[in-house]
Amino acid sequence: MARPRALIVRSAGTNCDAETAYAFDSCGAQSTILPSQPFLERPQILADYQILAIPGGFSYGDDILAGKVFGLELATHAGEEIVRLVKRGGVVIGICNGFQILVQMGLLPGLAKPFGEPEVTLTDNDVHKYQDRWVRMQVVSDACVFLRKGETLFAPAAHGEGKLVPRDEAMRLRLHQTGRVVLRYVGPNGEENPPFPHCPNGATDAIAGLTDATGRILGLMPHPERHFFPWHHPTWTRDGLAELTDGRKLFERGVQAVTAAG
């Protein structure tokens, strides 16, 4: 079977595109990195792809709000094509700034309808500064094709605006009830709702990642592509080199999801 194709879209300020592309390529996909301008001019090309990835970085400097400007552009020019990709069995992943973009587009959590009023936001960390530190996440739902419930994901978080805040209490409850919450930060021994630094940003209910109604869109703040090689692990010099890293598992599942869908 042909290798599934992954489109990695980048804007001015995107900076995790190469390692995201590498991750997909080494898990069996074939990726293309495309600047935003040609993509926004011809979003139809998405028909040739099964995977869309929006990598981390600072799209347009994160001016105004993290992910806002690129989110507006993607929603305006490529929104329909992205929905179509998911409908025909494709997957979408937004990492860090990519997650912020998916949220600002209104694609995640997408409870009412895609591109509707924003339902949640990702704002300044409680410590009000950028933080690069490794965090442990628990997969709390089987809703998303990239993840398996019960597993943990250990990866670096590296962001200044990762605190997830729902619009109101009703929205918070619905996020859980509808299975949109797939990843939550946990303590070193799996403790729920851990304090800083285990939850690096103060997110509501320690939410680290969301999916949509189909489970084929994943947005998460931490960087699975930075826990891809075993030597990425912060204590590999003590504990040895792992056979299979948490990050690699996530990308492999994403590729499998589109391979199975056909």
Partner 1 sequence: MATRPGFPDAAAAKLAQEIARLLGRPIGVEMVRGYAIAFANPDLPRDDVGAKLLHAVLADPVLHTSRVLRADDAVPVGRDGWRRIDVVRRPGVMDPAAMSVLRALAAVGLKPVSARTYRAIRVQDAHDAAELQRIGERCLANPLIEEVRVDPREAVVPFQDLAPAPFQRVEVALRGVDDVALQKISKDGMLALDLAEMRAIQAHFRSEGRDPTDVELETLAQTWSEHCKHKTLTSRVTITGDGAPRQYDNLLKETIFAATVQLDRDWCLSVFRDNAGVIAFDDEFAVTFKVETHNHPSALEPYGGAGTGIGGVIRDTLGTGLGAKPILSTDVFCVGPLAMQPDELPPGTLPPRRILQGVVAGVRDYGNRMGIPTCNGAVFVHPDYRTNPLVFAGNVGLIPRDKIAKGARKGDKAFVLGGRTGRDGIHGATFSSLSLDSSSSSVASGAVQIGNAIEEKKLLDAVLDARDRGWFTSVTDCGAGGLSSAIGEMGEELGADIELANVPLKYQGLTAGEIWISEAQERMVVAVNPAHADELRALCSIHGVEATELGTFTGSGRLRLTFDGQPVADMAMTFLHHGIPKHSRTATVTKVAESDVALPAGLDPNRLLLELLASPDITSKEEIVRQYDHEVLAGSVVKPMVGPGGFGPSDACVTAPRLGSRRGIAVGCGMSPTTGATDPHAMALLSVDEAVRNVICVGGRFDRLALLDNFAWPSVDDEATLGSIARCAEGCRDAALAYGTPFISGKDSLHNQTRTQSGVIRIPPTLLVSAIALLDDVTCAVTMDAKRADDLLLLVGETRREFGGSRLHQLLKLDGGRVPRVELQKAKALHESVARAIATRKVRAAHDLSEGGLAVAVAEMCLAGGLGAALHLGSVPRPSGLDDDLTLLFSESAPRYLLEVAWDDVDAVTRSLAGVPHAVVGSLTQAPVVTISGLTPRPLLQVDLAALTRSFRTGLDF
Which residue's CB is nearer to partner 1, number 49 or number 58? 58
Q: Does 163 bind partner 1 (CB under 8 A)?
A: yes
- Interactions with partner 1, residue window 88-117 (CB under 8 A): 117
Candidates 158, 199, 207, 210: give the one binding partner 1 (CB under 8 A).
Answer: 158
Q: Choose, by CB under 8 A, the member of 28, 79, 118, 187 that binds partner 1.
A: 118
Q: DSSP letter string over the chain? A: -PPPEEEEEE-TTB--HHHHHHHHHHTT-EEEEEEHHHHHH-GGGGGG-SEEEE--B-GGGG-SSTTHHHHHHHHHHHHHHHHHHHHTT-EEEEETHHHHHHHHHT-SS-SS-TTSS--EEEE--TT-S-EEEEEEEEE--S-STT--TT-EEEEEEEES--EEEESSHHHHHHHHHTT-EEEEEE-TT--SS--TTTSSS--GGGEEEEE-TTS-EEEESS-GGGS-SGGGSTTHHHH---SS-HHHHHHHHHHHHHHHH-
> x-or-dash pattern for partner 1, window 217-236, by CB under 8 A?
------x-xx-xx-xx-xx-
Catalytic residue among 16, 27, 73, 96: 96
C-beta closer to partner 1: residue 49 or 134: 134
Residues with a known catalytic role: 96, 223, 225
**Can you give the binding site for partner 1, defined by CB under 8 A?**
12-16, 18-19, 22, 26, 35, 37-38, 56-58, 60-61, 63-65, 68-69, 72-73, 76, 117-121, 123-134, 156, 158, 163, 165-167, 202, 223, 225-226, 228-229, 231-232, 234-235, 237-238, 241
